[in-house]
Amino acid sequence: MPPAHPSRRAVLGGALATTALAGCSYSVLDPPPGASAADGAIDGSTWGGPAARWRLVWPRRTAPRALVVGLHGKGGSADSSFQLGFDARATELGLAFASVSGGDGYWHRRRDGRDPARLVLDELVPLARKRSGLSANGRVAFIGWSMGGYGALLLAGQVPRAQLVGVATLSAALWTSPGATAAGAFDDAQDYAAYDVFAAKRRLPGVPVSMACGASDPFLKANRTFAARRPGTTTTFDKGGHDGDYWSAHAGTAMAFLAAQL
């Protein structure tokens, strides 16, 4: 079935812009055909932020092959991946799919004490594995766009390699130096250095990585630079901008890449 495309907000160089998407074929509160769904909230005390809503879908008739975690862009929420159709693409391929409202902290621990990385790795992943029928060490993949694309590359490096399927990014919000970053992405230059995905130790050696970015996207140059420094990265640099139309159009290919690694 086609993905659901209600309106959402997209990040462009750290600013929010409205992106109009096509009409949806099912409510964002309902699972895709053939899938089961669950949602809830994670106590804010576990990660230093507010209560964080999570959403999960998994194949109804077969055990999921793996769990895909979707990381939203700035201004997004647990619903955003579902609005872009990631959930339908995942369950069609026999995968469970989970997302959580992680705030705008660029998916790493911040000076104010909020730690969205902990929210994902220590809370969402174990919860989603259990609810979807995967084992406690079931394999995990990451997919994300904009801020979430950066987060996917960062968090994947914190999962044991034997449990990691791969990473797919769409329009990843990447900067090659601390002075080029958008306001709020990092606390300061030291924070950037501590979580720099360009650093050799964080380039995910041996991990399958797919990157897509549009020719009109302001992050294209940095995405090309990351791929060039990481031989073996699968890339799609094609027509498009930093918006929901691009992300939903590439969701199927990105999810198929992850499924192909199993």
For tokens 């929901």, the residue is: 244
Digit-by-digit pLDDT tens for the chain (262 residues) are 333 322 223 333 232 222 323 333 334 568 999 999 999 999 999 999 999 999 999 999 999 999 999 999 999 999 999 999 999 999 999 999 999 999 999 999 999 999 999 999 999 999 999 999 999 999 999 999 999 999 999 999 999 999 999 999 999 999 999 999 999 999 999 999 999 999 999 999 999 999 999 999 999 999 999 999 999 999 999 999 999 999 999 999 999 999 999 9
Q: What is the pLDDT of residue 29?
A: 61
Hey, where are the domains in the chain?
A: 8-260
Tokens of 71: 């990381």
As a whole number of angstroms, the distance between CA 132 and CA 40 comes to: 14
Residues 57, 221 contacting (CB under 8 angstroms): no
Instruction: Please state, as a whole number, how many other Cβ atoms lie within 10 Å of the Cβ of residue 74.
Output: 22
pTM metric for this prediction:
0.90
Q: Which two tokens stand for residue 57?
A: 């879908």
Is 91:28 a contact under the CB 8 Å cutoff?
Answer: no
* CATH for the stretch 8-260: 3.40.50.1820
* Contact partners, residue 258, CB within 8 Å, separation at least 6: 66, 68, 95, 141, 143, 165, 166, 168, 208, 210
Q: Give the type of residue at 201.
A: K
Q: Give the pLDDT of residue 15.
A: 28
Task: Give the pLDDT confidence score for residue 213 in this predicted structure.
Answer: 98
